[in-house]
C-alpha cells in the first residue's frame, strides 16, 4: 500500500526529493505549496513539475488515503464525517464552528483500548494506529469541503481529541503536529492546537514538554480521587493520580504553559458539590496554570448507567470551582442533534452494516 505524501514533514519530503528522486531541493518546496496552499487532488495538477518527477511521485505516494462515507450536518453548524481508510476500517472527524474560527477534532487510532467506561470511542477496541498521513488527511478533507463549496473559510484550530489515545500513537502524532504547524503550508498556529491525553503513559507528557512545539495540553481527568477515577477510567489502575500529576507538574515546570483539565459531568457519579471541592483541592496548588473544562455528557446507548448531569448540578459544581479561585468554563455543546459523542457515528454505522473489513 502506498504511503500518503501528507505523512511527510517538509524535511522528509526534501530528503526524498534529493536522495530518492534525484531532484533539486527546491522541488520539495514547490510540491509542498501544491499540497497545502493550492490543495490539489492529483500530482498531475502540479504543472511546474516534470512528467518524470510526477511519475516518481505517483509510483511512491498517494495524496489522499481517505474516502468519505457519511457526512452529518447539525443545525448549529457542526459537521461530522465518517471516513474509510485504505484497509476499509473507519474513523470519525468533527468540524465545530466556534466564535474564534473553524475547529477540527481529529482521530488518531482505529478504536481505543483505554477502557473509559462512559466513552463511545472504546466500544470497539483498537485495531491499529492512524498514520500521520491519515491524520493530516482529515484536516485536508475538511478544508476541501469548504473549498469545493466556494466558501472563503479555513481550518484555524485543531483538537486531537477524537477516537483513540494520541500519546499511544506518539510518533505519528508529532509528525502530524509538525506538518500542520508548518508556516509554509496550513500554518495552523501551535497555540491553536490542543492534544488531549488520559495519561496512559505519564512519561510521554514529559517528552511532549521537551519537543519544542508550543501546542496546548489537555488532560482527560473526570474524577478527583483514585477510587472514582479507577471506576470510570481503567487506565487509572496502572497510572493513578499521583503519577499523572507528577508528570503534569514536570510539564508545567518545563514549559510554564497552562494545562486544561477535561471533566465530563455524569449525573450522581462525579457531579456533587463535595466532589467539586475535591477537584478544587487537587488543582488549587496548580491553579495559576490550570483551566477546568466542564463537559456535558452525550449519552451512549451501550452505557445506560450514565446520564447527563442536570443544569443545576453543573452550575453548583462550577460555583464551587470558582469560589476556590479556579479558572473554569462549562463547554458549549456542539452537534447535539446528530451522533454527538465521539465514536457514536462509527459504531452505529458498523452495526448497521457499513463494511469494516480488510
Which residue numbers are catalytic? 92, 342
Map grid coordinates 483513540 to a residue.
Answer: 164
CA distance 14 to 11: 5
Q: Extract the C-alpha cell encoding 185.
A: 503550508
Q: Which residues is 218 bridged to in the sheet? A: 196, 260
Alpha-carbon distance of 13 to 216, in angstroms, equals 27
Which residues, 6+ apart, have CB-to-CB distance to 227 below 8 Å?
none
101: left (phi over 0), alpha (psi -120 to 50) or beta: left
Q: What angle do CA 272, 233, 283 make, to 5 degrees?
A: 55
280 vs 284: CA distance, rounded Å: 6
Q: Is the dihedral of CA 48, 50, 53, 55 positive or negative?
A: positive
Half-sphere exposure (Cβ direction) of 39: Cα atoms closer than 13 Å = 15
Cβ-based burial of 92 (10 A; exposed 0-12, middle 13-18, buried ≥19): buried
Q: Which cell goes with 137?
A: 488527511
Residues 14 and 141: beta-carbon distance below 8 Å: no
**DSSP string spanning 332-354?**
PP--TTS--STTHHHHHHHHTT-
Amino acid at each position: 500500500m502506498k504511503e500518503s505524501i501528507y505523512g511527510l514533514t517538509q524535511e522528509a519530503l526534501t530528503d526524498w526529493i534529493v536522495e530518492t528522486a534525484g531532484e533539486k531541493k527546491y522541488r520539495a518546496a514547490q510540491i509542498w505549496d501544491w499540497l497545502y496552499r493550492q490543495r490539489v487532488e492529483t500530482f498531475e495538477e502540479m504543472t511546474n513539475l516534470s512528467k518524470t518527477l510526477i511519475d516518481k511521485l505517483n509510483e511512491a505516494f498517494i495524496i489522499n488515503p481517505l474516502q468519505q462515507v457519511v457526512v452529518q450536518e447539525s443545525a448549529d453548524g457542526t459537521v461530522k464525517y465518517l471516513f474509510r481508510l485504505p484497509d476499509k476500517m473507519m474513523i470519525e472527524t468533527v468540524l465545530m464552528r466556534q466564535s474564534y474560527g473553524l475547529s477540527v477534532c481529529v482521530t488518531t487510532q482505529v478504536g481505543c483500548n483505554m477502557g473509559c467506561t462512559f466513552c463511545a470511542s472504546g466500544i470497539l477496541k483498537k485495531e491499529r494506529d492512524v498514520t500521520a498521513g491519515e491524520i493530516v488527511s482529515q484536516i485536508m478533507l475538511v478544508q476541501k469541503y469548504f473549498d469545493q463549496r466556494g466558501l472563503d473559510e479555513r481550518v484555524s484550530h485543531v483538537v486531537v481529541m477524537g477516537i483513540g489515545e494520541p500519546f499511544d500513537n506518539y510518533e505519528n502524532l508529532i509528525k502530524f503536529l509538525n506538518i500542520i504547524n508548518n508556516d509554509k503550508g496550513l500554518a495552523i498556529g501551535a497555540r491553536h492546537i490542543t492534544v488531549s491525553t488520559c495519561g496512559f503513559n505519564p512519561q510521554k507528557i514529559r517528552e511532549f514538554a521537551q519537543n519544542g512545539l508550543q501546542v496546548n495540553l489537555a488532560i482527560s481527568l473526570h474524577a478527583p480521587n483514585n477510587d472514582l477515577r479507577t471506576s470510570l477510567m481503567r487506565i487509572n489502575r496502572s497510572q493513578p493520580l499521583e503519577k499523572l500529576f507528577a508528570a503534569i507538574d514536570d510539564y508545567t515546570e518545563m514549559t510554564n504553559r497552562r494545562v486544561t483539565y477535561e471533566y465530563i459531568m455524569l449525573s450522581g457519579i462525579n457531579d456533587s458539590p463535595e466532589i467539586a471541592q475535591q477537584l478544587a483541592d487537587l488543582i488549587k496548588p496548580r491553579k495559576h496554570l490550570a483551566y477546568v473544562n466542564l463537559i456535558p455528557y452525550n449519552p451512549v446507548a451501550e452505557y445506560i448507567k450514565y446520564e447527563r448531569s442536570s443544569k443545576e448540578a453543573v452550575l453548583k459544581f462550577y460555583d464551587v470551582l470558582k469560589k476556590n479561585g479556579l479558572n473554569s468554563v462549562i463547554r458549549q455543546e456542539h452537534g447535539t442533534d446528530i451522533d454527538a459523542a465521539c465514536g457514536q457515528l462509527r459504531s452505529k454505522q458498523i452495526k448497521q452494516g457499513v463494511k469494516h473489513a480488510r
